[in-house]
């Protein structure tokens, strides 16, 4: 292992692989029966013990999935007690839970707060009932609104809303209406994801059968730029391709770790981990995950050692998706590559064309550059 990320504080990710029903666009690993939750939790506690004190202290904990809000308050409390028993958390950690609006009663939210969870991410996706139905979400617009209001009343000062755009039958105007409704609640964080359809999902199958089109490049660009404009006008910082924060203090500390090669430990089926130049991931299937742990093994499906060149390309790809961009000096120190001299010509061209700026030692995408960030990294 090299020492390139030894200074960075690690984050902890916990994957809860259960959902009550499957959304039509979803490619994540999750099961729709909750009967195996007790077995999963027993195995998860064993997995956590193996990593005891190996990564910590953590400054972020992210309980994702799946739908963690399906668990009972008692089960979530046990998870957080287990985290504190096995790992050190720095003072004032960011502890996030991903939730479905249908699960967010006031008492559930209050119990989350009592357990130390200080950030709630709500999968609202849309304030348009037609879009929710098309996506196969199991909640209504009314439930989304109650969930946000209940989160505030329960004392959450850090609320994130997840939204999806580019849905067939949704025009730019109706998407902007969803955004306008979102900002009424002044969430601290908004994530706007463009709908992508993996081949094997129900919507992916319908798309490939020609039932509906997806927005072409021009329309995608329009969605992207109008989203950015509306949220920036409402006071949000567009700090990453899909992410907006109401002030720097509300950017996601946890997600930042994925973008800057900080170490992170992922527990639970399908969870990924990263440290130094090693990446490893757990079995996707709960059965394989349980079998490995019950046989006394770690549930790791595969491990990958990244070369310096792979790390460098990843850092370029991820860095150019952030508004802050890439510190040329840090990049040179970490990846032994001087972008300003070795990519001088192409950078000058991209700058002239208005895709990037180079200021105060940072190579950053402009707003137009952010819209095509994935192609920018091919320099």
Q: Which residues bind ligand SF4 (CB under 6 A)?
A: 19, 22-23, 26, 28, 30, 65-67, 100
- Give the burial class of 53: count Cβ atoms within 10 A of its Cβ; 0-12 exposed, 13-18 middle, 19 or more buried: exposed
Q: Which is nearer to ligand SF4, 40 or 87 (CB)?
A: 40
Q: Which is nearer to ligand SF4, 193 or 221 (CB)?
A: 193
Cα of first residue to Cα of last residue in the chain, in angstroms, is: 28
Residue 263 sits at φ, ψ, to 5 deg, of -70, 150
* Residues contacting residue 118 through CB under 8 Å, at least 6 positions apart: 94, 95, 156, 157, 158
Could you tell me the smallest distance in angstroms from the CB atom of residue 25 to ligand SF4?
Answer: 7
Could you tell me the smallest distance in angstroms from the CB atom of residue 260 to ligand SF4?
Answer: 25
Could you tell me the smallest distance in angstroms from the CB atom of residue 66 to ligand SF4?
Answer: 5
Q: Which is nearer to ligand SF4, 285 or 368 (CB)?
A: 285
Could you tell me the smallest distance in angstroms from the CB atom of residue 57 to ligand SF4?
Answer: 29
Residue 361 sits at φ, ψ, to 5 deg, of 80, 10
Q: Which is nearer to ligand SF4, 56 or 98 (CB)?
A: 98
Rounded to whole angstroms, how far apart are CA atoms 149 and 122? 11
Residue 313 sits at φ, ψ, to 5 deg, of -65, -40
Could you tell me the smallest distance in angstroms from the CB atom of residue 190 to ligand SF4?
Answer: 17
* Residues contacting residue 292 through CB under 8 Å, at least 6 positions apart: 283, 298, 299, 300
**Cis peptide leading into residue 57 (ω within 30°):** yes
Question: What own/partner pairs with CB < 8 Å and gap ≥ 24 does 358-361 have?
Answer: 358/328, 361/327, 361/328, 361/329
Could you tell me the smallest distance in angstroms from the CB atom of residue 189 to ligand SF4?
Answer: 17
Query: How far is residue 362 CA from its own chain's centroid?
Result: 24
Q: Which is nearer to ligand SF4, 11 or 66 (CB)?
A: 66
* Residues contacting residue 310 through CB under 8 Å, at least 6 positions apart: none
Could you tell me the smallest distance in angstroms from the CB atom of residue 254 to ligand SF4?
Answer: 17
Query: How far is residue 206 CA from its own chain's centroid?
Result: 26
Residue 271: other Cβ atoms inside 10 A: 24
Could you tell me the smallest distance in angstroms from the CB atom of residue 23 to ligand SF4?
Answer: 3
């Amino acid at each position: 292992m090299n020492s390139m990320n030894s200074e960075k504080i690690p984050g902890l990710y916990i994957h809860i692989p259960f959902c009550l029903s499957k959304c039509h666009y979803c490619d994540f690993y999750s099961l729709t029966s909750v009967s195996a939750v007790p077995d999963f939790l027993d195995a998860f506690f064993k997995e956590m013990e193996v990593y005891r004190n190996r990564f910590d202290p953590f400054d972020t904990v992210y309980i994702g999935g799946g739908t963690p809000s399906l668990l009972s308050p008692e089960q979530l409390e046990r998870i957080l007690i287990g985290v504190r028993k096995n790992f050190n958390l720095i003072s004032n950690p960011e502890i996030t839970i991903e939730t479905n609006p249908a699960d967010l009663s006031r008492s559930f939210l209050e119990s989350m707060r009592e357990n130390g969870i200080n950030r709630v991410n709500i999968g609202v996706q849309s304030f348009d009932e037609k879009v929710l139905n098309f996506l196969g979400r199991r909640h209504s617009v009314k439930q989304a609104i109650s969930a946000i209001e209940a989160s505030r009343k329960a004392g959450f000062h850090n609320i994130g809303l997840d939204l999806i755009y580019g849905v067939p039958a949704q025009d730019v105007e109706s998407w902007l209406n969803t955004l306008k409704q979102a900002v009424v609640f002044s969430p601290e964080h908004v994530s706007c994801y463009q709908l992508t359809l993996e081949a094997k999902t129900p919507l992916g199958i319908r798309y490939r059968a020609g039932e509906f089109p997806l927005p072409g490049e021009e329309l995608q660009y329009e969605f992207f730029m109008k989203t950015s404009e509306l949220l920036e006008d409402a006071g949000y910082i567009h700090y990453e391709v899909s992410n907006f924060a109401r002030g720097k203090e509300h950017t996601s500390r946890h997600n930042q770790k994925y973008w800057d090669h900080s170490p992170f430990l992922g527990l639970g089926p399908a969870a990924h981990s990263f440290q130094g130049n090693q990446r490893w991931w757990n079995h996707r299937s709960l059965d394989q995950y349980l079998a490995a742990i019950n046989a006394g093994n770690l549930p790791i499906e595969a491990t990958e050692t990244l070369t310096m060149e792979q790390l460098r390309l990843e850092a370029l790809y991820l860095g150019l998706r952030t508004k802050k961009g890439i510190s040329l000096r840090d990049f040179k120190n970490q990846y032994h590559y001087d972008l300003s001299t070795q990519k001088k010509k192409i950078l000058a061209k991209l700058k002239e064309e208005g895709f990037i700026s180079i200021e105060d030692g940072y190579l950053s995408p402009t707003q137009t550059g952010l819209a095509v960030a994935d192609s920018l990294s091919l320099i």
